[in-house]
Amino acid sequence: MATTGYFVQSFRSAYKSHGRILDTIRVTKKFTVRNLSSVKNEACYDIVVVGGGIVGMATARELKIRYPSFKMAVVEKEKELGVHQSGHNSGVIHAGIYYKPGSLKAKLCVEGLHLAYKFLDEKGIPYKKCGKLIVATNELEVSRLMDLYDRAQKNNCPDVKLIEGKDIKKHEPHCEGIKAIWSPHTGIVDWGLVTQEYGKDFQERGGAIHTSFPVDNFLEDSGASSDNEYPIRVIGNNNQSVRAKYVLTCGGLHADRLAEKCGCSKDPRIIPFRGEYLLLNPEKCNLINGNIYPVPDPRFPFLGVHFTPRMDGSVWLGPNAILAFKREGYRYRDIDFSDLFDALKYPGFQKLAVKYAVFGSGEIIRSAFISLQLKELRKYIPNISAKDIKRGPSGVRAQAVAADGTLVDDFVFDAGGKGLLSKRVLHCRNAPSPGATSSLSIAKMISDKMAKQMNL
Ligand SMILES: Cc1cc2nc3c(=O)[nH]c(=O)nc-3n(C[C@H](O)[C@H](O)[C@H](O)COP(=O)(O)OP(=O)(O)OC[C@H]3O[C@@H](n4cnc5c(N)ncnc54)[C@H](O)[C@@H]3O)c2cc1C
């Protein structure tokens, strides 16, 4: 779905549900008045960014570089930056092979890769350019591989090559396959660490970071007695609040809820999908040099279980994709009934569940019986057995789903709602994978958008 199209659509649907928005605003005011009485000495900022994940931090930093005299702050609900998606991912620096040519995702990923390596070099952040193979194991996969190769060329992915079965072993001596794509510039890094470094850079440039600040509401101050220079109040649920001229929200797994608080449409909803990894026995980690990926099945939305070397020398296998019962729930026993019902009652999720019923059930079964995942993995590296794998960590993807059950695949921005909130607050409602790789180019795009929309 085109981003602009979505923007207009969400604005329209927010406008249509005028009554609901008024209700929201009434509730907001009541709540806020109660809180403001206990709020003193609010700090005032030109721009406040809500959400200290990699997208929020990269954008805060970019805005501070562009507007050095602006007073800026990031507010983050956790004690540290980058602890959710940005600190729970595969750690891959992607080269942009998979994405539809011409899409924002493709453009931002390739740009982001170059910007990321430059930043990592400048800051001395450790990374490994270990490369990546996408391996076909049968003729059907070869034809899909050729389509991917064509995409890689159209997307200007750097130095990507098609190689024959015998050459696979030059890169990965233990890997089997009949044809592959070799991407030498794919790398690995700790994206959580990169998020912290963006934060450090932002602070060194004069930006403020308020952690343990869970934003609960936004209020516009339009009364005659109000301080109209900083008319947006960002209210935390621990009696904290700050004032701002402009606000950007980058809430990851809570992006939709932050937007709704400003009167935006409910859609697209964030549906959390847990991605579980297996760990390879340390004695077998020497079987893997770089990233080894299957050829994705275009009927399904995720890339498939892959071998990912980590910066600490371990090798992760995964991730799969199963519904998480809590938005930031990393273990299968983490359940939040309000998050769960929110997902289950959403018509978009119900349609999605029907559409991917077979794939989804397969993922649940493979999650329960890791021997089934082993069977898949052994197609590429036959020399691993059941005793070489065990359950490992997991991450949770913020998957935006539209009301018609479509998985929203590109970036979504929203400034719906009414009044000042619609003019001065921008919401980044979907920053899908490879959002970490693309973070510096996403930051540029969002900064351009804010400059235009808010006349910065
Ligand atoms: C399993 C998995 C594997 C992935 N692998 C890769 C990969 O290998 N390479 C790659 O490039 N990308 C990968 N991605 C994608 C990438 O991690 C994300 O696109 C990126 O981290 C999104 O960053 P974000 O800042 O939007 O979200 P987040 O990192 O989730 O940050 C959002 C922040 O907002 C904060 N927040 C939310 N609500 C509030 C509130 N009310 N008040 C204050 N703060 C709030 C949260 O606490 C959080 O810190 C992967 C993602 C997952 C889940």
Angular region, 129: left φ>0, alpha ψ -120 to 50, beta rest: beta
Task: Give the ligand 1 atom nearest the CA of 318.
Answer: 1
Other residues' Cβ atoms within 10 Å of the Cβ of residue 331: 13
Check pocket membership of 183 for ligand 1, CB cut-off 6 A.
no
CATH code of the domain in which 331 resides: 3.30.9
DSSP string for 10-77: HHHHHHHTHHHHHHHHHHHHHHHHHHHTT--S-EEEEEEEE--SHHHHHHHHHHHHH-TTS-EEEE-S
CA–centroid distance, residue 436 to ligand 1 (Å):
8
Q: Residue 248 domain-assigned?
A: yes
What are the tens digits of pLDDT across the range 288-324?
999 999 999 888 777 888 999 999 999 999 899 999 9
CB 272 near ligand 1, within 6 Å:
no
For ligand 1, atom 4, name the residue with the nearest CA.
89
> Which of the listed residues 403, 421, 438 is the one where a domain comes to its end?
403
> pLDDT, tens digit, for every residue of 440-453?
999 999 999 999 99
Mean pLDDT per 10-residue interval, the chain, length 456 residues: 35 32 29 37 94 98 98 98 97 96 94 98 98 97 97 97 96 97 98 98 98 95 67 92 97 97 94 96 96 90 87 95 94 93 95 90 86 91 95 96 92 85 93 94 97 91
User: Which of these, 306, 298, 255, lies nearest to 412 by C-alpha position?
Assistant: 255
What is the amino acid identity at position 423? K
Residue with tokens 């913020």: 398
Domains contained in the chain, number: 2
Burial 421-444 (b: 16+ CB within 10 A, else e): bbbbbbbbbbbbbbbbbbbbbbbb
- Same domain for 320 and 384? yes
Alpha carbon dihedral 338, 343, 344, 346, in 10-degree steps, equals 120
69 and 80, same domain (yes or no): yes
Based on the fold, state whether residues 350 and 440 are members of the same structural domain: no
Task: From the CA of 395, give the closest atom in ligand 1.
Answer: 1
Residues 301 and 324 occupy one common structural domain: yes
Residue 90 lies in a domain: no
Output the pLDDT for position 9: 35
Q: Which helix (H) or strand (E) holds 189?
A: strand 187-189
143 domain-assigned: no
Query: pTM (2 decimals)?
Result: 0.90
Whether 207 and 309 share a structural domain: no
Q: Are 50 and 186 in contact (CB under 8 A)?
A: no
Q: Which conformational region is residue 99 in: left (phi greater than 0), alpha (psi within -120 to 50 degrees), or beta?
A: beta
Tell me, using a 6 A CB cutoff, whether residue 192 lines ligand 1.
no
Q: Note whether residue 140 is domain-resident.
A: no
Residue at which a domain ends, from 388, 403, 418: 403
Closest ligand 1 atom to the C-alpha of 214? 42
Does residue 117 fall inside a structural domain? Answer: no
* Residue 95 belongs to a domain: no
Tell me which residue has its CA closest to atom 37 in ligand 1: 251
- Residue 85: predicted pLDDT: 97
Cα separation values, 12 from 9, 18, 21, 265, 428, Å = 5, 10, 12, 9, 17
403, 420, 439: which is the final residue of a domain?
A: 403
Residue 64 backbone dihedrals phi, psi, to 5 degrees: -70, -35
Cα(429) to ligand 1 centroid in Å equals 11
Residues 387 and 293 in one domain: yes
Q: Are residues 247 and 393 in the same domain?
A: no
Residues 69 and 218 placed together within one structural domain of the fold? yes
| Same domain as 204, residue 58 | yes
Q: Are residues 297 and 345 in the same domain?
A: yes
Do 260 and 353 fall within a single domain?
no
Residue 399 CA, ligand 1 centroid: distance in Å? 11
Question: Ligand 1 centroid vs 165 CA: distance in angstroms?
Answer: 36
* d(C-alpha 296, C-alpha 203), whole Å: 40
- Asked if residue 236 belongs to a domain, the reply is yes
Q: Which domain holds residue 316?
A: 269-403
CA distance linking residue 293 with residue 377, whole number of Å: 10
CATH number at residue 64: 3.50.50.60
Q: Is 138 inside any structural domain?
A: no
Distance (Å, rounded) from C-alpha 314 to C-alpha 281? 8
Do 29 and 74 lie in a common domain?
yes
